[in-house]
């Protein structure tokens, strides 16, 4: 009897501990249940690197983490998945487009000087570029994220169809049949950019030479500019670079990810020492949003390898809330029915099993809070399956007890036999389940992993509750003679007639 009480004390202690754990930590819900955005980023091999290894993945992750911190989204998590993917979760974020913009680009910043003797060509290209850009900006519907208070461009720029086709043919661009005007202007922009890049010398200063980045409203005009602070070496290089082109009419090109975003000429007065002071600003006619994106990217540094966003999932909080509420209601009502069924079919042990299974559910949730396990829909599926198997363990035991009772065994002996005979089948079922869990966990992808984790926890706990909780509680109850009646286990007509009379003389 002492052993039973020891077990009972342990179960009681675990129950209290689980309750306390749940009250203090609570459960972590996955994005599919609480709403938010999830982005999957694929790190692409580039240049000499043909395979992404963990070290490079970590390097990319570091840069992305700095950028995410710059965005200031609460509770975001960035995890490496497999050898070349990163998953970013932004709980509660409904519009992941900014995060996608900021994370998706390499942000390789370069300062380049224009090659001598190309002044004429550059002037033409820049004029064409400005014209195309302003036409394109006017053609696009303003996105709602743009500052609505900013006034529209003073004059509506236009590029007549004749001018456009002339410009296109002067650059030798074949216009694909059926392309719209916007398509053609974009083609034009791409080609001018390509040619402008060709007129630049090699990169002399890169993002590595920066120590800080900021943004401010332009002194003139409506746009924003991004301010940069160089380290000592970068400041010196910037001074000598600006000195070399000061007063020549050649431009200093600021190139971001292979796109010339700003072309600045340097005035005569810097001929002697160049621009000193270790700071510069990029006036690329940015919107407030673009300036902020660039600032965050430059602060985080450029990515060692390019990344591509391969998956974006967004779940609205109301969809998530509806999911969790209706699924909870459904799951609980199903479990209540299971409890009623167990109590009706198995009588006293059925009620014991309901108590044991309630503890089982509580222990499960406590472990989810402890590890912690993030609950997702597949995770709930794993939990449902483990509940099914846990109920099965109890059913197996009780069916065995009934069999023994029908065979004429005494009550206490039948209970002991029931547990020991059912053990091998319970163990085999749980063992095969755990084998699948291991395979699914180590080889499966995110969704499947979540399923495997909750199922494995459920299986391990089910072994414990079926063999320990149910048994201890049942034995404890059997220490009260009033409860020691076979009819509390199965209907009287199923008991063998001769023995039921002899053994149950006290029965009314």
Partner 1 sequence: MTPAPTPRFRISRHRRLAWLGSALACGLSLLGLALCWLNPAIHAPLRPGLDFTGGTQVQVERDCAPCTAITAAEIRQGLSGLNLPSSEGDRAPNLGSASVQVLDSGRSLLLRLPALEAEQSSALVDDLASKFGPLLKSGTSVNTIGPTLGSRLLRGSLISLLVSFVGISVYISFSYSGIFAVLALLCLAHDVLITCGLFAWLGLLQGIEVDSLFAVSLITIAGYSVNDTVVVYDRIREQRRTLGDLSLVDQVDVAVDATLTRSLYTSFTTLLPLVALIFFGGSTLFWFAVALTVGIAVGSWSSIGVAPTLLPVLSKR
Give the residue, chosen from 127, 273, 438, 483, that forms a contact with partner 1 under the rule CB under 8 A. Answer: 438
Instruction: Rule CB under 8 A: say whether 447 interacts with partner 1.
Output: yes
Instruction: Rule CB under 8 A: say whether 317 interacts with partner 1.
Output: yes
Q: How far is CA 227 from the centre of its chain?
A: 32
Task: Give the Cα separation of 257 and 280 in Å (integer).
Answer: 19
Of 309, 288, 267, 282, the residue nearest 109 (C-alpha): 282
CB of 24 to partner 1, least distance (A): 28
Instruction: Rule CB under 8 A: say whether 198 interacts with partner 1.
Output: no
* Residue 266 in tokens: 């340097």
Using a 10 angstrom Cβ sphere, with 0-12 exposed, 13-18 middle and 19 or more buried, the burial of residue 64 is buried
Instruction: Rule CB under 8 A: say whether 5 interacts with partner 1.
Output: no
Instruction: Rule CB under 8 A: say whether 197 interacts with partner 1.
Output: no
Number of residues lying near partner 1 (CB under 8 A): 90
Question: Which range touches partner 1 (CB under 8 A), out of 54-62, 69-77, 246-254, 374-382?
Answer: 374-382
* The length of the chain, given as a count of residues: 508
Give the residue, chosen from 448, 460, 477, 478, that forms a contact with partner 1 under the rule CB under 8 A. Answer: 448
Instruction: Rule CB under 8 A: say whether 440 interacts with partner 1.
Output: yes
Angle between helices 181-198 and 161-170 (to 10 degrees): 40
385-406 in b/e form (b: 16+ CB < 10 A) is: bbbebbbbbbbbbbebbbebbe
Question: Which range touches partner 1 (CB under 8 A), out of 126-134, 151-159, 215-223, 376-384?
Answer: 376-384
Residues of this chain, 334-353, that bind partner 1 according to CB under 8 A: 334-335, 337-338, 341-342, 345
Instruction: Rule CB under 8 A: say whether 445 interacts with partner 1.
Output: yes
Whether the Cβ atoms of residue 191 and residue 243 lie closer than 8 Å to each other: no
Residues of this chain, 231-260, that bind partner 1 according to CB under 8 A: 259
Instruction: Rule CB under 8 A: say whether 466 interacts with partner 1.
Output: no
Whether the Cβ atoms of residue 213 and residue 286 lie closer than 8 Å to each other: no
- Percent helix / strand / coil, the chain, rounded to 5: 60, 15, 25
Task: Give the Cα separation of 98 and 37 in Å (integer).
Answer: 12
Residues of this chain, 271-310, that bind partner 1 according to CB under 8 A: 308-310
Question: Which range touches partner 1 (CB under 8 A), out of 113-121, 263-271, 365-373, 375-383?
Answer: 375-383
Instruction: Rule CB under 8 A: say whether 173 interacts with partner 1.
Output: no
CB of 17 to partner 1, least distance (A): 27
Site string for partner 1, 95-134 (x = CB under 8 A): xxx-xxx---------------------------------
Report the SS3 class of residue 59. Answer: helix
Peptide bond into 7 cis (omega under 30): no
Instruction: Rule CB under 8 A: say whether 429 interacts with partner 1.
Output: yes
Residues of this chain, 13-42, that bind partner 1 according to CB under 8 A: 32, 35, 39-40, 42
Instruction: Rule CB under 8 A: say whether 316 interacts with partner 1.
Output: yes
Residues of this chain, 55-94, that bind partner 1 according to CB under 8 A: 94
Q: Are strands 109-114 and 200-206 parallel, antiparallel or unpaired?
A: antiparallel
Q: Side-chain half-sphere of 133: how many Cα atoms within 13 Å?
A: 15
Give the residue, chosen from 392, 467, 485, 488, that forms a contact with partner 1 under the rule CB under 8 A. Answer: 392
Give the residue, chosen from 198, 277, 388, 491, that forms a contact with partner 1 under the rule CB under 8 A. Answer: 388
Nearer to partner 1, 75 or 322 (CB): 322
Report the SS3 class of residue 261. Answer: strand
Instruction: Rule CB under 8 A: say whether 216 interacts with partner 1.
Output: no
The owner of tokens 């829909």 is 377
Of 18, 2, 8, 6, the residue nearest 473 (C-alpha): 8
Instruction: Rule CB under 8 A: say whether 182 interacts with partner 1.
Output: yes
């Amino acid at each position: 009897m002492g052993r039973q009480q020891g077990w009972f004390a342990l179960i009681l202690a675990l129950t209290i501990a689980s309750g306390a754990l749940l009250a203090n930590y609570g459960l972590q819900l996955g994005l599919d249940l609480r709403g938010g955005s999830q982005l999957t980023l694929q790190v692409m091999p580039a240049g000499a690197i043909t395979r992404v290894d963990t070290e490079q993945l970590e390097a990319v992750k570091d840069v992305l983490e700095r950028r995410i911190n710059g965005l200031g989204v609460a509770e975001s998590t960035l995890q490496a998945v497999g050898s070349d993917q990163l998953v970013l979760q932004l709980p509660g974020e409904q519009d992941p487009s900014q995060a996608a913009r900021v994370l998706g680009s390499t942000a390789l910043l370069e300062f380049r000087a224009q090659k001598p003797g190309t002044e004429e060509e550059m002037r033409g290209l820049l004029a064409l570029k400005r014209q195309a850009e302003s036409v394109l900006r006017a053609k696009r519907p303003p996105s709602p994220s743009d500052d609505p208070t900013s006034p529209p461009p003073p004059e509506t720029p236009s590029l007549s169809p004749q001018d456009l086709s002339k410009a296109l043919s002067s650059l030798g661009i074949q216009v694909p049949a059926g392309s719209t005007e916007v398509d053609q202007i974009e083609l034009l922009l791409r080609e001018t950019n390509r040619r402008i890049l060709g007129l630049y010398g090699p990169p002399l200063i890169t993002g590595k030479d920066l120590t800080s980045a900021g943004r401010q409203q332009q002194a003139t005009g409506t746009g924003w500019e991004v301010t940069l602070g160089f380290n000592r070496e970068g400041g010196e290089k910037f001074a000598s670079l600006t000195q070399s082109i000061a007063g020549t009419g050649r431009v200093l090109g600021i190139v971001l990810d292979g796109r010339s975003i700003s072309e600045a000429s340097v005035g005569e007065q810097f001929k002697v020492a160049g621009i000193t002071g270790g700071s510069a600003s990029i006036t690329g006619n940015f919107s407030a949003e673009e300036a902020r994106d660039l600032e965050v990217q430059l602060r985080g540094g450029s990515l060692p390898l390019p990344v591509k966003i391969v998956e974006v999932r967004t779940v609205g909080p109301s969809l998530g809330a509806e999911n969790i509420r209706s699924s909870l209601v459904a799951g609980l009502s199903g479990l209540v029915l299971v409890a009623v069924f167990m109590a009706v079919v198995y009588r006293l042990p059925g009620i014991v099993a309901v108590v044991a299974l309630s503890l089982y559910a509580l222990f499960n949730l406590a472990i989810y809070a402890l590890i912690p396990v993030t609950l997702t829909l597949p995770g709930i599926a794993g939990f449902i399956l483990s509940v099914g198997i846990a109920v099965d363990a109890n059913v197996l035991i009780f069916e065995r007890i009934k069999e023994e009772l029908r065979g004429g065994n005494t009550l206490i002996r039948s209970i002991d036999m029931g547990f020991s005979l059912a053990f091998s089948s319970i163990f085999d079922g749980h063992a095969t389940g755990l084998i699948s869990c291991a395979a699914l966990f180590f080889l499966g992808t995110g969704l499947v992993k979540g399923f495997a984790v909750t199922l494995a926890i459920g299986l391990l706990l089910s072994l414990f509750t079926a063999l320990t909780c149910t048994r201890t509680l049942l034995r404890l109850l059997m220490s009260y003679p009033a409860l020691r009646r076979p009819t509390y286990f199965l209907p009287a007509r199923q008991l063998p007639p001769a023995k039921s009379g002899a053994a149950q003389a006290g029965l009314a």
